[in-house]
Amino acid sequence: MASENGAYRGLLIDYGGVLTTDVFASFSAFCELEGLEPDALSRAFRDDAECRELMLGLETGTVAQEQFEPALAALLGVQPSGLIDRMFGRTKLDERMAETVRRVRAGGTRTGLLSNSWGTTSYPRELLAELFDAVVISGEVRMRKPSPEIYALGAERLGLPPAQCVFVDDLSVNLAPAAELGMATVHHRAAEDTIAELERLFGVSLR
């Protein structure tokens, strides 16, 4: 399946917040359960240099989950056991988005995952194998979005030039480097809107 003008032959898509429900809503729920202010976690990663360094290390695979959880727990004042699972406890697979990727791939377009990871063991690997021709997980490749190199790697693993790829992410900061490489970008906010935009870009029905 290519777009009507033949421009797009590959789809690269984020995991958390695109193939799953809203990550930040899960963070807020975690904070409330732990007796923290609802935005405490997001604020810590944004404003606290030590927290941010821990996050960057986890995403690039230089900080192991076993190091990350007790270190972050100490900074937040919470228990470390199962911390990442608790933080993401309210996320679940967005079935509509998974089905959309499934249909895109079934039509002949190459599909790839491009994900900043919070540890590499919690991904549903059987589902990823069903949905994607290529999987790029930041903690495994030691680079993270928005580094331009990870987008180039995603396209390379699809066997396509970046200009023939569409990239979908829920964070606008992650879209600009992809666009600079020539990819079409889709800012994911809701499944309905993203599906409509993918239909427009690829020139096919995905429902």
| pLDDT at site 3 | 45
| pLDDT at site 131 | 98
Alpha-carbon distance of 115 to 206, in angstroms, equals: 23
> Which residue carries 């604020």 as its tokens?
43
Alpha-carbon distance of 96 to 98, in angstroms, equals: 5
Q: What is the mean pLDDT of each run of 10 residues along the chain (207 residues)?
A: 65 98 96 95 94 96 95 96 95 97 96 95 94 97 97 98 98 97 98 97 92
| pLDDT at site 122 | 87
| pLDDT at site 144 | 97
CB contact at 8 A, 203 and 185: no
Alpha-carbon distance of 24 to 11, in angstroms, equals: 24
CB contact at 8 A, 12 and 158: yes
